[in-house]
Structure 1
Amino acid sequence: MVKLLLFGYGNPGRGDDALGPELIGRIAQLHLAGVECQNDMQLQVEHVTDLAACDRVLFIDADMSCAEPCDFSEISAEKDGSYTSHAMSPTALLFAYRQVYGKDAPPAFLLRIRGYDFALGDPLSEQAAANLDAATKLVHELCMDVSLQLWRRCLVNNGDAAA
Protein backbone atom coordinates (compact mmCIF):
# COMPACT_ATOMS: atom_id res chain seq x y z
CA MET A 1 0.00 0.00 0.00
CA VAL A 2 1.26 3.47 -0.88
CA LYS A 3 1.84 5.69 2.13
CA LEU A 4 0.46 9.10 1.33
CA LEU A 5 1.46 12.21 3.27
CA LEU A 6 -1.01 15.08 3.16
CA PHE A 7 0.71 18.24 4.39
CA GLY A 8 -1.41 21.35 4.83
CA TYR A 9 0.13 24.62 5.79
CA GLY A 10 -1.16 28.08 6.59
CA ASN A 11 -2.02 30.37 9.46
CA PRO A 12 -5.40 29.54 11.04
CA GLY A 13 -5.52 33.05 12.51
CA ARG A 14 -5.47 34.75 9.11
CA GLY A 15 -8.85 34.05 7.52
CA ASP A 16 -8.59 32.04 4.32
CA ASP A 17 -4.94 31.20 4.99
CA ALA A 18 -6.42 28.42 7.16
CA LEU A 19 -7.60 26.47 4.10
CA GLY A 20 -4.69 23.99 4.15
CA PRO A 21 -4.99 23.08 7.84
CA GLU A 22 -8.80 23.01 7.56
CA LEU A 23 -8.68 20.47 4.74
CA ILE A 24 -6.17 18.36 6.68
CA GLY A 25 -8.52 18.37 9.68
CA ARG A 26 -11.41 17.13 7.56
CA ILE A 27 -9.41 14.28 6.02
CA ALA A 28 -7.79 13.32 9.34
CA GLN A 29 -11.26 12.71 10.82
CA LEU A 30 -11.81 9.97 8.22
CA HIS A 31 -8.88 7.86 9.55
CA LEU A 32 -8.00 6.61 6.05
CA ALA A 33 -5.59 3.67 5.85
CA GLY A 34 -2.20 4.59 4.42
CA VAL A 35 -2.83 8.34 4.75
CA GLU A 36 -0.85 10.47 7.18
CA CYS A 37 -2.13 13.99 7.82
CA GLN A 38 0.11 16.80 9.02
CA ASN A 39 -0.09 20.55 9.14
CA ASP A 40 2.00 23.47 10.20
CA MET A 41 1.99 27.23 9.86
CA GLN A 42 4.70 27.04 7.18
CA LEU A 43 7.10 24.60 5.56
CA GLN A 44 10.56 24.45 7.11
CA VAL A 45 13.71 22.51 6.31
CA GLU A 46 13.00 20.15 9.22
CA HIS A 47 10.03 18.80 7.26
CA VAL A 48 12.36 16.86 4.92
CA THR A 49 12.29 14.08 7.53
CA ASP A 50 8.49 13.84 7.17
CA LEU A 51 8.91 13.06 3.47
CA ALA A 52 11.37 10.22 4.07
CA ALA A 53 8.75 7.71 5.24
CA CYS A 54 6.17 8.32 2.50
CA ASP A 55 5.65 7.15 -1.07
CA ARG A 56 3.80 10.27 -2.21
CA VAL A 57 3.15 13.73 -0.80
CA LEU A 58 0.40 16.25 -1.40
CA PHE A 59 1.06 19.77 -0.17
CA ILE A 60 -2.08 21.84 0.45
CA ASP A 61 -2.13 25.62 0.77
CA ALA A 62 -4.35 28.65 0.31
CA ASP A 63 -3.64 30.88 -2.67
CA MET A 64 -5.16 34.22 -3.63
CA SER A 65 -4.09 34.01 -7.27
CA CYS A 66 -5.14 30.54 -8.46
CA ALA A 67 -8.38 29.71 -10.26
CA GLU A 68 -11.50 28.74 -8.33
CA PRO A 69 -12.03 26.43 -6.60
CA CYS A 70 -8.47 25.07 -6.61
CA ASP A 71 -5.42 24.23 -8.69
CA PHE A 72 -3.82 20.77 -8.61
CA SER A 73 -0.31 20.33 -10.01
CA GLU A 74 2.65 17.99 -9.90
CA ILE A 75 5.82 19.60 -8.57
CA SER A 76 9.50 18.76 -8.48
CA ALA A 77 12.63 19.88 -6.66
CA GLU A 78 13.70 23.42 -7.41
CA LYS A 79 16.15 25.67 -5.66
CA ASP A 80 14.55 29.02 -5.03
CA GLY A 81 15.10 31.92 -2.66
CA SER A 82 12.92 30.40 0.04
CA TYR A 83 15.45 27.72 0.97
CA THR A 84 17.42 30.29 2.99
CA SER A 85 14.44 31.70 4.87
CA HIS A 86 12.40 30.47 7.81
CA ALA A 87 9.56 29.43 5.47
CA MET A 88 10.09 27.29 2.39
CA SER A 89 8.16 26.60 -0.78
CA PRO A 90 7.21 22.96 -1.45
CA THR A 91 9.66 22.83 -4.38
CA ALA A 92 12.51 24.13 -2.18
CA LEU A 93 11.65 21.50 0.43
CA LEU A 94 11.92 18.81 -2.26
CA PHE A 95 15.28 20.30 -3.27
CA ALA A 96 16.45 20.15 0.37
CA TYR A 97 15.32 16.51 0.52
CA ARG A 98 17.61 15.72 -2.41
CA GLN A 99 20.49 17.50 -0.67
CA VAL A 100 19.93 15.64 2.62
CA TYR A 101 19.19 12.13 1.31
CA GLY A 102 21.13 12.14 -1.98
CA LYS A 103 18.08 11.05 -3.97
CA ASP A 104 14.85 12.50 -5.30
CA ALA A 105 11.90 12.93 -2.96
CA PRO A 106 8.78 10.82 -3.50
CA PRO A 107 6.38 12.03 -6.21
CA ALA A 108 4.91 15.31 -5.01
CA PHE A 109 1.84 17.36 -5.83
CA LEU A 110 0.52 20.75 -4.78
CA LEU A 111 -3.12 21.66 -4.23
CA ARG A 112 -3.70 25.39 -4.05
CA ILE A 113 -7.14 26.38 -2.79
CA ARG A 114 -8.46 29.80 -3.81
CA GLY A 115 -8.70 32.16 -0.87
CA TYR A 116 -9.77 35.78 -0.71
CA ASP A 117 -9.45 37.29 2.78
CA PHE A 118 -6.16 36.84 4.65
CA ALA A 119 -6.42 39.53 7.33
CA LEU A 120 -5.42 38.71 10.90
CA GLY A 121 -8.45 37.57 12.90
CA ASP A 122 -10.77 37.14 9.92
CA PRO A 123 -12.90 33.98 9.76
CA LEU A 124 -12.92 31.75 6.69
CA SER A 125 -14.81 33.58 3.93
CA GLU A 126 -17.94 32.04 2.41
CA GLN A 127 -16.30 31.82 -1.02
CA ALA A 128 -13.24 30.08 0.44
CA ALA A 129 -15.47 27.66 2.38
CA ALA A 130 -17.15 26.63 -0.88
CA ASN A 131 -13.72 26.14 -2.48
CA LEU A 132 -12.67 24.09 0.54
CA ASP A 133 -15.65 21.78 0.02
CA ALA A 134 -14.62 21.15 -3.60
CA ALA A 135 -10.96 20.63 -2.62
CA THR A 136 -11.94 18.23 0.16
CA LYS A 137 -13.92 16.14 -2.32
CA LEU A 138 -10.94 16.01 -4.67
CA VAL A 139 -8.47 15.03 -1.92
CA HIS A 140 -10.82 12.34 -0.62
CA GLU A 141 -11.06 10.85 -4.13
CA LEU A 142 -7.26 10.99 -4.49
CA CYS A 143 -6.87 9.20 -1.16
CA MET A 144 -9.24 6.46 -2.33
CA ASP A 145 -7.16 5.78 -5.45
CA VAL A 146 -3.49 6.62 -4.96
CA SER A 147 -2.38 5.45 -8.41
CA LEU A 148 -0.13 7.94 -10.16
CA GLN A 149 -2.22 7.36 -13.30
CA LEU A 150 -5.35 8.80 -11.64
CA TRP A 151 -3.45 11.64 -10.03
CA ARG A 152 -1.89 12.63 -13.33
CA ARG A 153 -5.25 12.33 -15.10
CA CYS A 154 -6.61 14.79 -12.53
CA LEU A 155 -3.85 17.22 -13.56
CA VAL A 156 -5.09 17.11 -17.15
CA ASN A 157 -8.66 17.58 -15.99
CA ASN A 158 -7.86 20.47 -13.64
CA GLY A 159 -8.40 18.44 -10.50
CA ASP A 160 -11.65 16.79 -11.56
CA ALA A 161 -11.15 13.23 -10.30
CA ALA A 162 -14.51 12.13 -11.66
CA ALA A 163 -13.51 12.92 -15.26
Structure 2
Amino acid sequence: MSDFSSTPVLIIGYGNTLRGDDGVGVRIAETIAQQQWPGVRSLICHQLTPELASDLAKAKGVIFVDAFPSDESMIQIQSLYPVEMRQNLGHTEDPRTLLSLSQVLYGCCPPAWWVLIPGSHFEFGEQLSPVTKNCVQEAINLIQELIGSIV
Protein backbone atom coordinates (compact mmCIF):
# COMPACT_ATOMS: atom_id res chain seq x y z
CA MET A 1 0.00 0.00 0.00
CA SER A 2 1.10 3.53 -0.63
CA ASP A 3 1.92 6.18 1.93
CA PHE A 4 -1.29 7.57 3.38
CA SER A 5 -0.28 11.20 2.92
CA SER A 6 -0.44 10.65 -0.84
CA THR A 7 -3.69 8.66 -0.80
CA PRO A 8 -6.69 10.69 -1.88
CA VAL A 9 -9.41 8.06 -1.26
CA LEU A 10 -9.99 6.08 1.91
CA ILE A 11 -12.15 2.93 2.01
CA ILE A 12 -13.29 1.93 5.51
CA GLY A 13 -14.76 -1.54 5.66
CA TYR A 14 -16.15 -2.42 9.04
CA GLY A 15 -18.13 -5.12 10.80
CA ASN A 16 -17.77 -8.39 12.65
CA THR A 17 -16.46 -11.21 10.46
CA LEU A 18 -17.65 -13.74 13.06
CA ARG A 19 -21.29 -12.66 12.61
CA GLY A 20 -22.11 -13.81 9.09
CA ASP A 21 -23.15 -10.99 6.76
CA ASP A 22 -21.95 -8.34 9.24
CA GLY A 23 -18.41 -8.99 7.99
CA VAL A 24 -19.08 -8.10 4.35
CA GLY A 25 -17.63 -4.57 4.69
CA VAL A 26 -14.38 -6.02 5.99
CA ARG A 27 -14.24 -8.57 3.16
CA ILE A 28 -14.79 -5.91 0.50
CA ALA A 29 -12.11 -3.61 1.98
CA GLU A 30 -9.70 -6.58 2.15
CA THR A 31 -10.36 -7.42 -1.50
CA ILE A 32 -9.72 -3.84 -2.58
CA ALA A 33 -6.52 -3.73 -0.49
CA GLN A 34 -5.29 -6.97 -2.10
CA GLN A 35 -5.94 -5.53 -5.56
CA GLN A 36 -3.84 -2.46 -4.63
CA TRP A 37 -5.92 0.12 -6.42
CA PRO A 38 -3.80 3.21 -7.12
CA GLY A 39 -4.61 6.21 -4.96
CA VAL A 40 -6.73 4.15 -2.57
CA ARG A 41 -6.10 3.07 0.99
CA SER A 42 -8.28 0.45 2.67
CA LEU A 43 -8.85 0.44 6.40
CA ILE A 44 -10.41 -2.56 8.06
CA CYS A 45 -11.97 -2.29 11.49
CA HIS A 46 -14.38 -4.11 13.73
CA GLN A 47 -16.22 -0.88 14.57
CA LEU A 48 -15.92 2.83 14.00
CA THR A 49 -13.96 4.70 16.66
CA PRO A 50 -13.15 8.40 17.19
CA GLU A 51 -9.49 7.77 16.33
CA LEU A 52 -10.49 7.36 12.68
CA ALA A 53 -11.31 11.08 12.45
CA SER A 54 -7.65 11.95 11.78
CA ASP A 55 -7.58 9.53 8.82
CA LEU A 56 -10.73 11.13 7.43
CA ALA A 57 -9.20 14.60 7.70
CA LYS A 58 -6.31 13.55 5.44
CA ALA A 59 -8.47 11.98 2.73
CA LYS A 60 -9.80 13.54 -0.44
CA GLY A 61 -12.85 11.26 -0.18
CA VAL A 62 -14.07 8.48 2.09
CA ILE A 63 -16.22 5.44 1.37
CA PHE A 64 -17.63 3.50 4.32
CA VAL A 65 -18.68 -0.09 3.59
CA ASP A 66 -21.03 -2.01 5.88
CA ALA A 67 -23.92 -4.46 5.95
CA PHE A 68 -27.54 -3.63 6.72
CA PRO A 69 -30.40 -6.00 7.54
CA SER A 70 -32.58 -6.58 4.48
CA ASP A 71 -34.34 -9.34 2.59
CA GLU A 72 -33.81 -7.40 -0.64
CA SER A 73 -30.75 -7.69 -2.85
CA MET A 74 -30.26 -3.98 -3.57
CA ILE A 75 -27.03 -2.29 -2.54
CA GLN A 76 -27.63 1.19 -1.15
CA ILE A 77 -25.28 4.13 -1.65
CA GLN A 78 -25.85 7.21 0.46
CA SER A 79 -24.04 10.52 0.45
CA LEU A 80 -22.94 11.34 3.98
CA TYR A 81 -22.76 14.64 5.80
CA PRO A 82 -21.72 15.55 9.34
CA VAL A 83 -24.36 15.43 12.07
CA GLU A 84 -24.60 17.22 15.40
CA MET A 85 -21.99 15.95 17.83
CA ARG A 86 -23.06 13.90 20.84
CA GLN A 87 -21.54 14.37 24.26
CA ASN A 88 -20.42 10.75 24.56
CA LEU A 89 -17.82 9.80 21.95
CA GLY A 90 -17.09 6.13 22.36
CA HIS A 91 -17.51 3.49 19.75
CA THR A 92 -20.01 4.57 17.14
CA GLU A 93 -21.96 2.81 14.45
CA ASP A 94 -22.56 5.90 12.35
CA PRO A 95 -19.92 7.37 10.03
CA ARG A 96 -21.64 10.77 10.10
CA THR A 97 -20.43 11.23 13.66
CA LEU A 98 -16.86 10.63 12.49
CA LEU A 99 -17.30 13.21 9.75
CA SER A 100 -18.45 15.70 12.38
CA LEU A 101 -15.50 14.89 14.60
CA SER A 102 -13.10 15.37 11.69
CA GLN A 103 -14.69 18.77 11.01
CA VAL A 104 -14.47 19.86 14.66
CA LEU A 105 -10.94 18.61 15.36
CA TYR A 106 -9.20 19.15 12.03
CA GLY A 107 -11.33 21.76 10.29
CA CYS A 108 -12.12 19.58 7.31
CA CYS A 109 -14.65 17.00 6.27
CA PRO A 110 -14.07 15.10 3.04
CA PRO A 111 -16.88 14.07 0.70
CA ALA A 112 -18.16 10.73 1.96
CA TRP A 113 -20.44 7.89 0.95
CA TRP A 114 -21.93 4.89 2.70
CA VAL A 115 -22.10 1.69 0.68
CA LEU A 116 -24.57 -0.59 2.42
CA ILE A 117 -24.71 -4.25 1.46
CA PRO A 118 -27.94 -6.16 2.21
CA GLY A 119 -27.61 -9.00 4.69
CA SER A 120 -29.96 -11.53 6.23
CA HIS A 121 -27.66 -13.71 8.34
CA PHE A 122 -26.09 -12.00 11.37
CA GLU A 123 -25.76 -15.02 13.65
CA PHE A 124 -22.43 -16.56 14.68
CA GLY A 125 -20.49 -17.90 11.72
CA GLU A 126 -18.08 -16.71 9.08
CA GLN A 127 -20.10 -17.52 5.96
CA LEU A 128 -21.96 -14.89 3.98
CA SER A 129 -25.56 -15.57 3.01
CA PRO A 130 -26.17 -16.17 -0.72
CA VAL A 131 -27.75 -12.71 -1.21
CA THR A 132 -24.85 -10.91 0.47
CA LYS A 133 -22.24 -13.03 -1.29
CA ASN A 134 -23.84 -12.20 -4.65
CA CYS A 135 -23.59 -8.47 -3.88
CA VAL A 136 -19.85 -8.41 -3.15
CA GLN A 137 -18.57 -7.97 -6.72
CA GLU A 138 -21.32 -5.50 -7.58
CA ALA A 139 -20.38 -3.44 -4.51
CA ILE A 140 -16.72 -3.46 -5.54
CA ASN A 141 -17.71 -2.23 -9.01
CA LEU A 142 -19.88 0.53 -7.52
CA ILE A 143 -17.04 1.59 -5.20
CA GLN A 144 -14.70 1.76 -8.19
CA GLU A 145 -17.19 4.07 -9.94
CA LEU A 146 -17.44 6.27 -6.83
CA ILE A 147 -13.66 6.53 -6.67
CA GLY A 148 -13.63 7.63 -10.30
CA SER A 149 -15.91 10.53 -9.37
CA ILE A 150 -13.62 11.58 -6.51
CA VAL A 151 -10.20 11.62 -8.18
TM class, shorter-length:
0.7 to 0.9
CA distance in 2, matches of 1:72, 1:122: 25
Match of 1:13 among 3, 12, 18: 18
Gaps of 5+ in 2: 1-5
CA distance in 1, matches of 2:146, 2:26: 17
The alpha-carbon deviation at position 52 of structure 1 amounts to 2.1
Match status 1:72 vs 2:77: yes
Query: Retained in 1: the 8 A contact 2:57–2:108?
Result: no
The alpha-carbon deviation at position 133 of structure 1 amounts to 2.1
Match of 1:146 among 129, 141, 149: 149
Spell out, residue by residue over 1:45-76, the C-alpha distance to the aligned partner (whole angstroms, 9 max, x if none): 01101112210000111011495331011110
Query: Retained in 1: the 8 A contact 2:61–2:110?
Result: yes
SS of 1:73's partner is strand
Residue 110 (structure 1) aligns with: 114
The alpha-carbon deviation at position 82 of structure 1 amounts to 9.1
Query: Retained in 2: the 8 A contact 1:2–1:56?
Result: no
Residue 66 (structure 2) aligns with: 61
Give 2:149's aligned amino acid.
V
Alignment of structure 1 residues 94-105 onto 2, 5 Å: 94-101=99-106, 103-105=107-109
Alignment of structure 1 residues 29-68 onto 2, 5 Å: 29-65=34-70, 68=73
Q: Relative to structure 1, is the Cα distance of residues 100 and 67 closer, same or farther in structure 2, using a 3 angstrom cutoff?
A: farther
CA distance in 2, matches of 1:7, 1:66: 24
Report the count of equivalent residues: 146
CA distance in 2, matches of 1:9, 1:83: 21
The alpha-carbon deviation at position 146 of structure 1 amounts to 3.2
Residue 139 (structure 2) aligns with: 135
Query: Retained in 1: the 8 A contact 2:28–2:136?
Result: yes
Give 1:134's aligned amino acid.
E
CA distance in 2, matches of 1:110, 1:6: 10
Structure 1 segments of 4+ aligned residues over 3 angstroms from their partners: 80-85
The alpha-carbon deviation at position 132 of structure 1 amounts to 1.5
Gaps of 5+ in 1: 149-163
Identity, % of aligned positions = 30
Spell out, residue by residue over 1:92-138, the C-alpha distance to the aligned partner (whole angstroms, 9 max, x if none): 1111112212x231111111111110012251111110011211121
SS of 1:146's partner is helix
